[in-house]
Amino acid sequence: MPQKIDNELVRHIAKLGRIELADEQVGTFGRQLSAILDYVGKLQELNTDGIEPMAHAVELRNVLADDSPGESLKPDQALANAPQRDGDFFAVPKVIDDSQ
């Protein structure tokens, strides 16, 4: 049986997630991800004819909060884990695309 997740797809997913993979890791992850899909694929054997698609695993509805302010963090707390900061801004590598 051909592997469900081939090397090309692994590279595509890694790129979307901004994860750098070495060539040998591509093969490893492809095998692991395919094995996971095969395992979960067991569910496909169930007959689901006439069963409504489920939007959520929990039967809860309308979990809502009132629009009244609570407490926020102080900028120093918010930035405590940031690898780099510039004053009270998070500092990240230069973004070229400034469509925002």
The residues binding another protein (CB under 8 A) are: 12, 15-18, 55-58, 60-75, 78-79, 84, 86-95, 97-100
H or E stretch at 86: strand 85-86
Q: Which is nearer to another protein, 46 or 55 (CB)?
A: 55
Cα 90-95-100 angle, rounded to 5 deg = 90
> Which residue's CB is nearer to another protein, number 47 or number 81?
81
Angle between helices 7-16 and 23-40 (to 10 degrees): 100
Two structure tokens written together for 22 = 């070495």
Nearest approach, Cβ of residue 80 and another protein (Å): 11
Q: Nearer to another protein by C-beta: 22 or 95? A: 95
Question: Quick check: 1 and 34 in contact, CB under 8 A?
Answer: no
